[in-house]
Amino acid sequence: MDQSLIDTFAEQADSLGYKTLTLGSMAGHDAAHMAAVTRSGMLFVPSIGGKSHCPEEASALCDIEAAANVLFHALLKLDQNLDQKGTDTDEDALFS
């Protein structure tokens, strides 16, 4: 996973007042496969009772909303960074 994306997610979560926890994932998520062709990162939403990848998996709407807000603000920040770089086509323009 791309550290600059992880940092952007954490910064935006912090600015919104959400607590964060950095986790590794052993599962074969799409983000791991996409990392071979582009920068990639993941936001995890807490599961009620810690149940994951099973029929009983569920998340509270407030946790889903928090993750969506973090993603939205991270996208705005990444876009702002691109705007500050002007017409630079270097992929690093998004992440500096």
- Helix or strand (DSSP H, E) at 68: helix 61-84
pLDDT for the residue 11: 97
pLDDT for the residue 87: 53
AA identity, residue 95: F
Nearest residue to 94 via CA among 26, 38, 23, 24:
38
What tokens does 27 get?
């599962």
Q: Name the burial class of residue 24, with classes exposed (0-12), middle (13-18) and buried (19+) by CB atoms within 10 angstroms of its CB.
A: exposed
Give the model confidence (pLDDT) of 32-62 as tens digits. 788 888 888 889 999 999 998 899 999 999 9
- Provide the Cα torsion 44, 93, 91, 24; round to 10°: -20
pTM of the model: 0.78
What's the chain's average pLDDT?
A: 86
